Structure 1
Amino acid sequence: MSDQIKHECGIALIRLLKPLSYYHEKYGTWKYGLNKLYLLMEKQHNRGQDGAGICCVKSNLDPGNPYISRFRSVEQNPIKDIFDKVNKPLKKAKRHDIDINDPEWAQKNFPFAGSLYLGHLRYGTFGKNSIDFTHPVMRQNNWKSRNLVLAGNFNLTNTDELFDVLVGLGQHPKAYTDTVTALEKVGHFLDEENQLLFRRYKNEGYSNDEISPLIEKNLDIPTILERASKDWDGGYAMAGLIGHGDAFVVRDPWGIRPAHYYYDDEIVVVASERPVIQTVMDVGVGDVKELGPGEGLIVKNNGAISKEMIRVPHKRKSCSFERIYFSRGSDKDIYKERKELGHLIAPIVLEAVDYDYVNTVFSFIPNTAETAFYGMVEGIKNHLVDWKIEQIQQKNGSLTNAEIKRILSFEPRVEKIAIKDVKLRTFIADDASRDDLVAHVYDVTYGIIRNDQDTLVIIDDSIVRGTTLKQSILKILDRLHPKKIIVVSSAPQIRYPDCYGIDMARLDKFIAFNAAIELLKDHGKESIIQDVYRKCKEQENLPKEEMVNYVREIYKPFTPEQVSAKIAELLTPEDCKAEVEIVYQTIENLHKACPNDLGDWYFTGNYPTPGGNRVVNGSFINFVEGKDERAY
C-alpha cells in the first residue's frame, strides 16, 4: 500500500508442557520457550511497532518469590529493547562465573525462566505511545488465581457502555479505554469465580491453605470469559494468563480479528498469523489451526488443552482488508487470494487500455501489491491466449512459420517501474521538508516507457487516502513521460471507517469519501450532506442496536465509475502532463477472491456489529462539525 496505515496488534502465547530440563536436554537450552516467543514476535513485527511487551508466569515457586515478570517498551525498536532487558541478568550472572545454562538455577533465579509466556506488539490507537497503555496489562492480587495478565488485538466500539457497567459494579476504572474496561471486566468475573469456589470449599470444611490449590484446579475459565465478554461489541483476539498458570485465548463471535494455534506434547503456541507459527515451529499448514469465531482455547495449569465455545458465533465476518494488505503474504490462502484479486481485475484493466498490448506497460507499486500483480498479469496472458488463437484461425492455415512464431511469442510488456527506497525515513520535523522527502520514497526505472506513446498501468493493493499517490508516485511516474497513467487498486473503494482495530477511523481521510462530497457539490446536491447529518444527529442518543448507517446516502447518487473518475481528478498533481485514470476492484470480485472472509464494511458499510453503525454516523457528524477526533 502506498499510504501508510497503521493496523491491528499482534499476540504471541507460549505454553511449555514439559519441565525446563526437558528442553535443555533435547534442544540444548532451557530458553527454548523464550526463544520461540522472540521469534513469534519478530515474525509479526509488521503488526505493530509502536510498542511491545512480554510477560512470564512461573509455577511451583515457594511463597515470597516473584512468579510474574513483565517488561514493556515504547522505544524505537521495542522488541530488541525488551529482550535486551530480559537477558541482562544472565549476562551479569555469567560474569560471576554462574552456570546460566543450568535449568534448575534458571528456574529459581532468572525471572523469565518459566513455562508460560505472553507477548504483544502494539500500535497506538489510544494512549499514544504511553507505556501505561502498552500490553500486556496486569491486575494483581496476593491470591495467585486472582492475578490476571491480558494482551489483545482488539478494539471495542462500546467502551462508554462498558465503563458505565464497571462503575455500576462499584469499581473506579483508572482510564477510559477499551483495554482497561476489558481487563477489569474479565478481572471482575475472575474475582467472582474465586469467591464462589472459596465459599463452596469453605462450606465443605477445607482449610484456607487447602482451598487455594482447589480453586486453581477447578477455576472455570470458559464461564469467566462468557460472562465478561457477553456485552463486548467489536473485534478481538484476546489472550490472558492467570497467576497460577492457566492461560486462554478468545476470539470475537464474528471472527473479525485473527487467531491461530498449534500444539503437540511439548508446547502450545498461539499467534495472530498462521505462517508465523509454521515458520517458528517448522510445521505444515495443516498442523496450524484457526480459532473459530466465538471460540476460546483454554490451557490449564496441569497442561490440559480444550477448545470451548465462549460466545454464540455469528455469520463469519473476518476482515477481508486485513487479508488484502496487512497479513503476511506467505500464508498459503492469503497468497492465493491476493493473486486472485489481481486475476479478477485483469478484464477491467484490459478494457481501460482498450486491449492495446503494444503500447501498454504493466507494473506494480512495491511491495505488497506484487502478488496481485502476478495475478493480473496471469489474467492478461490468459486473454492474450484467446487473441493468439483468433489470430491463427483468421489466417486459416496460410501463416508462415515466422508469422506463427511472432504470434505465439507475443507477450504483454511487464516491467518493474517503481522501486521503494526502504532506507529512506521521513525523520525531518517540519511539514514542508517532510513532503519533499515523501516525494522521493520511490525511485523509477528510466528508459522503459516510450515518451507520449505508452500507457503505464501500475497496480496497488488499495488506495485509502491517496496522499502518497498525489505527492509522490504520480509525480515520479510522470517523469517517465507516459501518455497515460492508470492506477489499479486490487481492493474496492474504501468508503467507510473501521472501528475494529485498523487505524482508519475518520471519513475525511478517505479519498473516496472526499470524491463523493465533491460530486455532490458539482451536481448541486449539497442538501444530501445536511440531510445525512440531520439523520445521524437524530439517532445520536439511540441504542446502538437501533442505529442505521445513513452515510451510505452520500454515495447513492453516483456509480462507482463516477466516484473513481472524481478520485482521479482529485489525485492528479497540478503539473502532471499524463492523463490519470483510477481503476478499482468490484465488491463482487472481492467476495469471489476471499469467499471465507466476508468482512467488507470498509467498502460496503455493512458493519458486523451494531457499534459499527454508531461509529460511522459519529464519524460523519465529526466531519460536518469539523471535529478532529475519533468517533469511538
Structure 2
Amino acid sequence: MNSVSDRWSPAPRDPLDDTLRLECGVYGVFDVPEAAAITALGLHALQHRGQEACGIATFDGQRFHTERHMGHVGDAFTGADLVQRLPGTAAIGHTRYSTSGGSFIRNVQPMFADLAAGGVAIAHNGNLTNALTLREQLVEEGAIFQSTSDSEVILHLIARSRKGKIIDRFIDALSRIEGGYALVALTNKKLIGVRDPLGIRPLVLGEFQGRYVLASETCALDIIGATFVRDVEHGEMVVIDQDGLKSLRPFPAQRARPCIFEYVYFARPDSVVNGRSVYEVRKRMGRRLAQETPADVDVVVPVPDSGVPAALGFAQEAGLPYELGIIRNHYVGRTFIEPTQGLRELGVRMKLSPNRSVLAGKRVMLIDDSIVRGTNSVRVVRMVREAGAAEVHLRSASPPLMYPDFYGIDMPDRDKLLAANKSLEEIREFIGVETMGFLSVEGLYWAMNSAPRDPVNPQFTDHYFTGDYPTRLLDREIAEGRNEQAERQLSFLVGA
C-alpha cells in the first residue's frame, strides 16, 4: 500500500528537464456580465504560471457551474457557447502546473464543495508546508479525499469548522495551514481573496467597470482593461460582495517576505509585483551582472525568453551590442515525446535555433535567467559553438540556486542542483564555456532597489539562494524524522 507521501508526489518529469515551474495562477471577478469570458481572458494572461491544466467556476445566482480541463486555456475555454456553458456574473479561474499531487484531472482547480452553509469553489496558488500532516489528521477523522492536491485540504478544513458564518469558517481553516499561498474563493454571495501572512505568493486587486477583480499578476488586469488598485497585502483577506470590498486581518502581524524569484523568472515582464516593475528589475539584474562579472566579448545574446531583459541591461551597462543570437519557436507543443537522448537534443533545437549571422566568429556572452541542473545550458552552449561562435561565455542573472523550494516552485532536490554540488570552476567545465558567472545575492537586492539584505530579518523570501526558509517545513521535518527512524530500524535488523 502506498503511503500518503507517495500519493502526494508531483508529476514525473524528464530527469534532464532544466525548467523551473511555478504551480499556479488564480483569477476572480464579481458582479460582472459574462464573468466566464472575462475570467478566460485573465487566465490567458496567466498561462505562463501554469500550462498543464485550467479551470473556471461560476455562480449564476442559483447554481454553481464548473469546467476543468487538461491543457491550455485557449484550447479549453473557447467558442461562442462559453457563457452558456458557464453562466453567471461571478467567477474564479485557475491555471495549473502540479508540484503537489499528480497530473490528473481530479487535481485540476477550481475545486468545489457543497457545504451546509452553501457551495464553495476555491483556487489556490502556492504550496502548504503542513498539508500532508493535516491530510493525515483529516483522514483519521473520517474525511474522504477526491484528489491528491493540497488545495482540497483547505476545503475540508472549511467544511469541518464549527464556526457559523462562511468567512469565520475560512479564517478558522486558514489558521491551521502553513506555507506560501494566494487563493481566491467563490461562495453564493461573495468573492474572497487571501494572501499568506508573509506575502510569499502574489495577489493583486483591480477594478473593471466599477467592479473588483483579483489576479495573480497585473498583466491579467491589463488584458481586460482593468485598472490596478493595489496589492492584496500580506496576511490580508479581502471580501467582495454587493456592498463592496471589506478588508480583514485574520493573522498575527508579521513582516512581509515576498518571493524574490517572481522577479527573476516567474512573473511576466510587463507585470508590476509588489510595486516593482518586473521588466525594470530584470534589466537592473543585467546591469549589476555586467559590473560584477565583466568579460572581453563581442556581443551579448539572451537565452530566450526570460533572459531578454537582463541581457539588455548587461549590454547597456557594458557598452556592447545586443543581438538575438538565439531564436525561440513559440509553437512547440508541451507534449512532444523525447524518449531517447538523441531526440532530447533535437527537442532543444525545436524550441531554440541559432542565428548564425550573429554568432559566427564572435565572442558571445550568453545571459540566462537562472541555472538549475545545467543540462539545458550544456545544450545551448553546444548549439552556439556549432553555429560558429569563437568563444562562449555564460552569465546567470540570478545567484546560484543552492536549496529546493517548498512554496509552489517545482525545483529539484538539492543533490540535483548544479550550483549546490559543484564549484564555479567545475560548473564552467561542465557547461563548457570560457568563463562563467552568477549574480550575487547582494546584487539581486540592489536590482530590487532594496536595502542590503538583512541577515536576521530578510526583506524577501530567498531561501533557494541562502537556505533561509521563511516558515517551518513541518511535512519535510516529519518525513526526514521518519526516514531517520526507518534507517535506524533497518540498521538494527541488519545488525541482528
How far did residue 610 of structure 1 move?
A: 0.7
How far did residue 317 of structure 1 move?
A: 1.6
Percent identity of paired positions between Structure 1 and Structure 2: 25
Q: Unaligned 5+ residue runs, structure 1?
A: 18-29, 62-66, 91-109, 195-218, 382-411, 516-562, 573-578, 626-632
State whether residues 54 and 120 of structure 1, in contact with CA within 8 Å, keep that contact through their aligned partners in structure 2: yes
How far did residue 139 of structure 1 move?
A: 1.4
Which of 539, 559, 569 is the aligned partner of 2:429? 569
* Structure 1 moving runs of 4+ over 6 Å: none
Aligned to 1:193: 163
Which of 584, 587, 594 is the aligned partner of 2:441? 587
State whether residues 259 and 460 of structure 2, in contact with CA within 8 Å, keep that contact through their aligned partners in structure 1: yes
Residue 77, structure 1, aligned to residue 77, structure 2: no
Q: CA RMSD in A?
A: 2.7
Superimposed CA distance per residue, residues 103-144 of structure 1 (whole angstroms, 9 cap, x where no aligned partner): xxxxxxx46331211111111224433111111111114x5x
Aligned to 1:495: 402
Amino acid across the alignment from 1:151? A
Q: What SS does structure 2 have at the residue aligned with 1:166?
A: helix
| Residues 118 and 230 of structure 1: CA distance in aligned 2, closer, same or farther (over 3 Å) | same
Aligned to 2:192: 248
How far did residue 262 of structure 1 move?
A: 1.5
How far did residue 480 of structure 1 move?
A: 4.0
Superimposed CA distance per residue, residues 393-427 of structure 1 (whole angstroms, 9 cap, x where no aligned partner): xxxxxxxxxxxxxxxxxxx3433211223334572
Residue 606, structure 1, aligned to residue 460, structure 2: no
How far did residue 238 of structure 1 move?
A: 1.1
Aligned to 2:493: none
Which of 96, 115, 123 is the aligned partner of 1:151? 123
How far did residue 483 of structure 1 move?
A: 4.3
The aligned runs of 1:454-603 (5 Å cut-off) are 454-470=362-378, 472-515=379-422, 563-572=423-432, 579-595=433-449, 598-603=460-465
Aligned to 1:296: 237
For the residues of structure 1 that align with 2:118 and 2:243, how far apart are their CA atoms?
19
Q: Which has the larger radius of gyration?
A: 1
| Residues 616 and 341 of structure 1: CA distance in aligned 2, closer, same or farther (over 3 Å) | farther
Aligned to 2:490: none
Aligned to 2:453: none
Higher percent of residues as strand: 2
For the residues of structure 1 that align with 2:142 and 2:128, how far apart are their CA atoms?
22
Q: Unaligned 5+ residue runs, structure 2?
A: 1-16, 451-458, 488-496
For the residues of structure 1 that align with 2:204 and 2:174, how far apart are their CA atoms?
20
How far did residue 247 of structure 1 move?
A: 2.0
Superimposed CA distance per residue, residues 359-398 of structure 1 (whole angstroms, 9 cap, x where no aligned partner): 53222111111111111122213xxxxxxxxxxxxxxxxx
State whether residues 139 and 183 of structure 1, in contact with CA within 8 Å, keep that contact through their aligned partners in structure 2: yes
State whether residues 57 and 245 of structure 1, in contact with CA within 8 Å, keep that contact through their aligned partners in structure 2: no
| More deviation, 303-312/253-262 | 303-312
For the residues of structure 2 that align with 1:297 and 1:150, how far apart are their CA atoms?
14
Amino acid across the alignment from 1:16? D
| Residues 481 and 433 of structure 1: CA distance in aligned 2, closer, same or farther (over 3 Å) | closer
| Residues 49 and 175 of structure 1: CA distance in aligned 2, closer, same or farther (over 3 Å) | closer
Which of 154, 169, 183 is the aligned partner of 1:224? 169
The aligned runs of 1:2-151 (5 Å cut-off) are 3-16=18-31, 30-31=33-34, 33-59=35-61, 61=62, 67-74=63-70, 76-84=71-79, 87=81, 110=84, 112-141=86-115, 143=116, 145-151=117-123
Superimposed CA distance per residue, residues 170-196 of structure 1 (whole angstroms, 9 cap, x where no aligned partner): 53445554122111012222xx233xx
State whether residues 133 and 475 of structure 2, in contact with CA within 8 Å, keep that contact through their aligned partners in structure 1: no
For the residues of structure 1 that align with 2:419 and 2:477, how far apart are their CA atoms?
18
Which of 346, 352, 356 is the aligned partner of 2:290? 346
How far did residue 318 of structure 1 move?
A: 1.0
For the residues of structure 2 that align with 1:448 and 1:314, how far apart are their CA atoms?
50
| Residues 595 and 605 of structure 1: CA distance in aligned 2, closer, same or farther (over 3 Å) | farther
Residue 166, structure 1, aligned to residue 138, structure 2: yes
Higher percent of residues as helix: 1
Q: What SS does structure 2 have at the residue aligned with 1:464?
A: coil
Q: TM-score, normalised by structure 1?
A: 0.67
Residue 305, structure 1, aligned to residue 299, structure 2: no
Q: What SS does structure 2 have at the residue aligned with 1:117?
A: strand
For the residues of structure 2 that align with 1:264 and 1:473, how far apart are their CA atoms?
43
For the residues of structure 2 that align with 1:220 and 1:137, how far apart are their CA atoms?
16
State whether residues 40 and 77 of structure 2, in contact with CA within 8 Å, keep that contact through their aligned partners in structure 1: no
| Residues 303 and 265 of structure 1: CA distance in aligned 2, closer, same or farther (over 3 Å) | farther
Amino acid across the alignment from 1:487? L
